Amino acid sequence: MPAPSASIHLGVPTPYITSHGSKVARLHMYDWFVLVLLVVIDGVLNIIEPFHRFVGSDMMTDLRYPMKDNTVPFWAVPIIGIIGPVIIITGIYFERRNVYDFHHAILGLLFSVLITAVLTDAIKDGVGRPRPDFFWRCFPDGVPAYDNVTTGVLCHGKASVIKEGHKSFPSGHTSWSFAGLGFLSWYLAGKIKVFDRRGHVAKLCIIILPLLLAALVAVSRVDDYWHHWQDVFTGGILGRLMLQGHLRRSYLITSKRGSDKRAGWWFLHFATFNSFQCHLMKTAYGLTHTLGTFLTLISYRAMLNPQPWIA
């Protein structure tokens, strides 16, 4: 019987371990404390005033898009990125009764999303990039006013609306969605054994669905004129990097370089999603595949190291 402090590799197909959830939580109480701290930090980042980047009269040409309501409201983002995946993970727990897997999955999901949220909001406040509809936030009556010397804007709109107008880069909706739904995609990939070389296309479709939903959320941010395409693309990459980093830490199998027989399937997963994302960006915004191809190669290079595998 392993000691409570012994490391447990969740990717190894061993018999399920039963334990009281409270005991597992106590073993990771510092992790949960860090989660609470991340929530507090993110709350502070949302309260403080972002950097007000200089906006001149000549820049307003690209910032006169109409103000629109959010297709995906702010309150829906936690539901999409956290609550939805938690419900699915909970359903898997009731089927398999593996409290360790359940605990680490929930903890990993929350860490991925909250670390992404903190980084996203910190960058937002530091960069202060104006949104595409900044003109109407700054001049709600449509009458512009500029400084006679610097030609900088002299906003007379509502302070809270102007504050939100300086939080364009990167997209929080996108980073949250890719962190949460991306984690869910990886988790399901291990649970239903997508890369078992049996050729079940239906399984591949299942893990692509969360990524498709995240991509649609990202596209809605540009369609609503709340973000520039660079904000959305960066938010998606940020969310993916955070979840992949946490997966490598929490669900790690040890293997020698190049010895993993599933290497081709890992590359297929990365390449499939990168190809989909790049095609989406090219269709919607006329972008090239160069950056996506570069990211695919990076993913393939990371694949050669010990890989996360959730079973």
- What six digits make up the tokens of 224? 């609503």
Give the residue ranges of DSSP H helices in 251-304: 263-285, 290-303
Full DSSP string of 166-187: T--SS-HHHHHHHHHHHHHHHH
Quickly count: other Cβ atoms within 10 Å of residue 150's Cβ. Answer: 11
Domain count of the chain?
1
Within a domain: 12? no
Could you tell me the residue range of the domain that residue 240 belongs to? 21-303
Within a domain: 16? no
Enumerate residues 6+ apart whose C-beta is below 8 A from 92: 102, 191
Within a domain: 6? no
Residues with catalytic roles: 173, 227
Whether the ω angle into residue 66 lies within 30 degrees of 0, i.e. cis, is no
Within a domain: 249? yes
Within a domain: 63? yes
- How many Å apart are CA 295 and CA 88, to the nearest integer? 29
- How many Å apart are CA 265 and CA 78, to the nearest integer? 31
311 residues of the chain, pLDDT tens digit each: 444 444 434 443 434 444 466 777 777 788 899 999 999 999 999 999 999 999 999 999 899 999 999 999 999 999 999 999 999 999 998 988 888 888 888 999 999 999 999 999 999 999 999 999 999 999 999 999 999 999 999 999 999 999 999 999 999 999 999 999 999 998 998 888 887 777 678 888 899 999 999 999 999 999 999 999 999 999 999 998 888 777 766 654 433 444 344 444 444 444 444 544 554 445 444 554 445 444 444 444 444 444 444 44
